[in-house]
Structure 1
């Protein structure tokens, strides 16, 4: 139903028959609703008078329910009982349910009372004016690029695709980044989310392929090509099938050779096969085979078997009496073949001269590879050629200026230097760390990260919590490990001290609690983590984040009951105190989730959080799942375990199964093929397992949930 139809069938109110001031207010509300603002419309039936509250988004709808509690409340309405729900059995409401964001509905009480009617209308007039004219909230206000990039890092660390894409759209709309840098940023995000199909679907892929790209972007594209065209046949072990698969790579993607040293299997396989397809020199192919031998010894033999027969023979037989090519000639040949890293190595091994130094400088700029650039800079400095090159032609001087700036950045930046900047409160260095600038930084090991986080002061931890998104995106594997409990506790402390309440911080908090629960924390670590989490909740709770608080409560208390039970009790009631002012934003599933936590902690839910007997049947929205087999898949066991517990309590006869497999198995294949409903939490799933599930699911429905937490799973099931 569009708002223009609101005063037709099912509504006894005709605006043109109302007093002018009433008709005018309805017209203003209609206009506000059409323009994406909050608005209120009345409906009269033989049974009574109802008001419908429209909001443009689910978030604003939740907030509006809290505001209505304060402005209308139990005195003149049925809001405490109905919680604004529409009635599907009412044809009028059934049409409104089809809207993207259905409105809230409440009845004016006592029925037929003129004072109640006038009080509510006046309250809604004042409330709508206040909402329309209020300053933009923190949820809507424009954010700095630094803030958005930090949230983006947290979203990638948590593998939360919706928040990551929201941050990307925000950058596109507000950040001072050109089209090329935005494209690079998107590719890094897709890589971080392990969403390589999105790279091929990106509108700027063709543009990027024609550019002189950073080597990190080329590596991302190489890994995407490997995943789409080569991975399965490479792991199968057939050389002939590997070459056949490579021939399916489009010509536009065959320009991804780098001339740099390969340190991973996907990149060396891609570069070798692209070299075969583009008739690279035997020197290039031999170099790639040698790199393959260092990575996986059977791989080099398989790649060598793909060489044409003539490639195994020398391209020419040297004349014994003829002089060998000079180093300069060899370097020129390597440069012409695109063998830039080999050209640098050859130049470094030869006797230094100006021509070789210029070639080496050009190769370093072509690769933009930090380790090689540092070696070239050191060589030029030690040999005394740096000052000589500074007097050379414009092109060489430009390359030299680039090298000096690039090396200066590499020497002053890096994750260790960034952590030092956090400790020393060097704002500029701290905020320079984003996905593009940190892409080539070497990752830190667990012991280093643990030591540096443990030694940070409270003030430094606050800065880490405020700006640590990119760090968390790069090092997320450390926090997900079985021994990562202490690391998670330190980052939770940082988020607490920062007092941030952004979407990225919220999803990161939930993710860290999931890692913590799976890492068998000690009583001391869990107690401390719950204290920090309580502070994060206090900074973040609102009408629009109430369901997130419930997810946090369920996840934070998912470890064995006896572990830190006193701390869990304190955290539970502390969180309830924060939820109490906005409890009207909790839906019935949220309240049942709170009851489940209370039961597991052997305590009781406060009376004001209990469901009233007059409340509608909570299970109604899940009734369609009766006698069905429902499978919940996620690597986060706590979320699907809680969701399964709630479903079993609500729906008699439901068969709920949970799985957290990393790869495929006979059982997962059977469940994927036979389940009536299959729910996959995409934010917490392995790429191999998701492909396996989709393959065995075939054309049967698959519900993909893109956010963590049991609330997201239950909402997806309720919506069907």
Structure 2
């Protein structure tokens, strides 16, 4: 093709900051093979066709910029790049790249295709010669496909409900960074509303340990003033404690902890603690107890009662958590009146409060509604009781209903919901409209209605919940009920056999809507099950849930990770040959539909490792699962890393099978060995934290084979021990596997790391742990070379 001597954009793009220059192109002095690959894309730019995909060469590798002319086309381009390039040859992650106006090459793109805010592009890079050639070949296939496809195109955007499910699964496994990536995709797909997206964003930051981003977030104060999901409140409280208060607990300095909270956090974060639903995690309970201790104006008896309620319902994964909560409780003054049950449930035991006519209430003038409103934050149970008396006949009904809804939302009990509902029903239609036009009160009423709906249906167990869902698939309060049940229901709230039968009913095509709701609520169900795993009686439930996931036509890699986690629970009990065979069948279905490439390969290998670690009652079935993964690897061998092939061969050998690596993988391995010499971890001290020592030992062995002088240390302590903190502080790199790790251990590690890298693998197995280490080493090398 004949190229113009001058082109405003291409001359700037192929300039000094790009080792491919415009004079080389037009004078045809560029390497012929590179020029041949480049010319079709240059023709697209000259003729103003999209997409635009152009390379940039820098020291140590090559990157490509890809952009198109609309948001819809950009989403489609991301899917096409994933299919053709993926993460096998490059670092492409399907997230838009933020261009810099200070960079000469990127400035040319901004000036030609839009400003820095609106110009959304993809950027991906490769370092090895083989991978660069593979990318050029893949982009050539992509261009041919774009030229030959029909004019009618579909919008390749995942359904928002499917993306939201992936967000919730990522949050369940405490991977805030991955949840943020899914949230970006959700916003591109249309979003679910600014407020709900903000809640997800802050929760993701909290789980990712990004405390500074939370504190500096421009909308944080808005969130603290809004009614919000209990999960977000709990995550923020955990972040507060983990990143600003745990240090004092580790130093065994309760006085300093109280002083720091009082002077630094109490006033700034009061919206987080005022009128919030009950929390149960140890760190959130400790934060709440410190808040109550900082309140010097509230009635001592009431504060003590609320503190005891928090401690009673707390979930403490370690003895250290229990001891610190007991020390905090000892700081409260003893109650002077005997405990009393306040209502139909023991969700809120207001021990010192005997009702509106008690002597305690004489401390406050309850004839003054404004004073009563102030008391609502300290004692919502008593205020609700007082609101129901006849002494407020002169007060506008809308004010009474508004305060009652706020108190009922804070208490989150069936009795409080009834009390608020009675006052709300006294309002006429016009008054209800005026009240509910305010988002906060609409949210309060929604929570109250969901609580009443669950109670009206007699839902107090998981099988009650599932039966109601099968009868009423469009039940609006299903998710709220499941979230409350996950926190409130005891271990007697699930009949394993009955629940499994109902889950299997959901798999019927006639119950697909109910099945989707169950899949959305899987993190709640699994969280409850793992919290109450006192016996192997949940085995039928694990299997039924995995089957339900396998029947979904829109399964994702998150489903594969989650199913592997459920399979781990199933395999820890006594497994029959029939149940083992069914488990293999379901996982094979998921494995073949959950994507492909490097990331999927790690997830599959983590799954295979699980079946190597546990006894095998049916060898033939296990061989089928290994064969399924091996076939997927062989279908496109170069999409998988050399170390992934190594793990596959190793696991197969331990399972009594003999697999070999393709020759092309050996060639890639030699190239990657050259790369590893430039990104060496030799001489580095690396810490590995996981509760499964056999997994860490595999990673240690593999690292020592790649880097003979690396210093690898393994820790599996469940609490914040001195050896764990010392390793976290001294290690150059630290890998934290999230396998049922106590929050206390995580926050202690995070605190000790400071600004040093803390790597969290996506999965729980050795392949995922090794992958995050090697990727970090490669990214560090690219940054140095750039």
Does the alignment reach a TM-score above 0.5? Answer: yes
- Partner of 1:95 in structure 2? none
**2:401 paired with 1:361:** yes
Structure 2 residue 448 is the aligned partner of structure 1 residue 410: no
1:67-216 alignment, distance < 5 Å = 100-102=124-126, 105=129, 127-131=142-146, 141-175=156-190, 177-189=192-204, 199-211=214-226
340, 358, 374: which one aligns with 2:380: 340
Q: Secondary structure at the match of 1:576?
A: helix
- Work out whether 1:249 is the aligned partner of 2:265: yes
Does the residue aligned with 1:428 lie in a helix, a strand or coil? coil
Distance 1:132 1:479 in 2: 52
Match of 2:586 in 1: 532
Q: CA 1:459–1:554 in 2, change beyond 3 Å: closer, same or farther?
A: same
> Is residue 2:579 matched to residue 1:566?
no
* Distance across 2 between alignment mates of 1:546 and 1:402: 39
Tell me the secondary structure at the aligned position of residue 718 of structure 1.
Answer: helix
Name the CA distance, whole Å, in 1 between partners of 2:241 and 2:267. 15
- Secondary structure at the aligned position of 2:624 is classed as helix
Q: Deviations over 1:559-580 (max 9, x none)?
A: 2455543332221113223433
2:745 corresponding residue in structure 1: 689
SS class of match (1:498)? coil
Write the distance in 2 (CA, Å) between the matches of 1:614 and 1:210. 55
Report how far residue 101 of structure 1 moved.
Answer: 1.6
Q: Is the 8 A contact 2:381 2:411 kept in 1?
A: no
Q: Distance in 2 between matches of 1:653 and 1:269?
A: 43
Ranges in structure 1 where 5+ consecutive residues have no aligned partner: 43-50, 70-98, 110-119, 307-322
Match of 1:456 in 2: 502
1:353 Cα offset (Å): 7.4
Q: Distance in 1 between matches of 2:503 and 2:334?
A: 58
The Cα of 1:682 is off from its aligned counterpart by 6.0
Is 1:428 aligned to 2:428, yes or no?
A: no
Measure, in 1, the Cα distance between the counterparts of 2:56 and 2:447: 62
1:257 Cα deviation after fit: 5.0
Distance 1:476 1:195, change over 3 A: farther
Shift of 1:253: 1.8
- Secondary structure of the 2:670 match is coil
- Which shows bigger deviation, 399-408 or 558-567? 399-408
- Alignment correspondent of 1:580: 634
Shift of 1:681: 3.6
Q: Is residue 506–residue 540 contact of structure 1 (8 Å, CA) maintained in 2? A: yes
| Distance change >3 Å, CA 165–CA 33, structure 1 → 2 | farther
Contact kept in structure 2, 1:156 and 1:192, CA below 8 Å: yes
Superposed, 1:491-570 pairs within 5 Å as 491-516=545-570, 524-543=578-597, 546-548=600-602, 550-560=604-614, 562-570=616-624
Q: Unpaired segments of 5 or more residues in structure 2?
A: 1-11, 67-76, 90-122, 313-325, 336-360, 778-786
Q: Which has the larger radius of gyration?
A: 1
CA distances 1:338-380 after superposition (whole Å, capped 9, x unpaired) = 34321113455x5697569947533321234287674356468
Within-5 A mapping of 1:439-454: 440=484, 443=487, 444-445=489-490, 448=494, 450-454=496-500
The answer as to whether partners of 2:561 and 2:603 remain within 8 angstroms in 1 is: no
Shift of 1:103: 6.6
Distance 1:650 1:33, change over 3 A: farther
Larger CA deviation: 164-173 vs 680-689: 680-689
Superposed displacement of residue 121, structure 1: 11
Q: CA contact under 8 A between 1:239 and 1:302: conserved in structure 2? A: no
SS at match of 1:542: coil
- Give how far 1:693 is off: 3.3
> Following the alignment from structure 2 to structure 1, what is the Cα–Cα distance between the partners of residues 38 and 404?
73
Report 1:380-395 matches (<5 A): 389-390=426-427, 394=431
Relative distance call for 1:651 and 1:602 in structure 2 (3 A) is: farther
Q: Report which stretch shifted further, 352-361 or 528-537.
A: 352-361
Q: Name the CA distance, whole Å, in 1 between partners of 2:490 and 2:735.
A: 35
**Aligned-residue offset at 1:125:** 5.4
TM superposition shift of 1:130: 0.6
Normalised TM-score (structure 2): 0.66
By relative contact order (CA 8 Å, sep 6+), the higher-ranking structure is 1
| 8 A Cα contact 1:488 1:516, kept in partner | yes
The correspondence of residues 11-22 of structure 1 with structure 2, limited to 5 A, is: 14-15=27-28
Distance in 1 of aligned mates of 2:626 and 2:684: 33
CA distance in 2, matches of 1:386, 1:565: 64
Are positions 1:643 and 2:684 aligned together?
Answer: no
Q: Is the 8 A contact 1:148 1:170 kept in 2?
A: yes
Paired residue total = 648
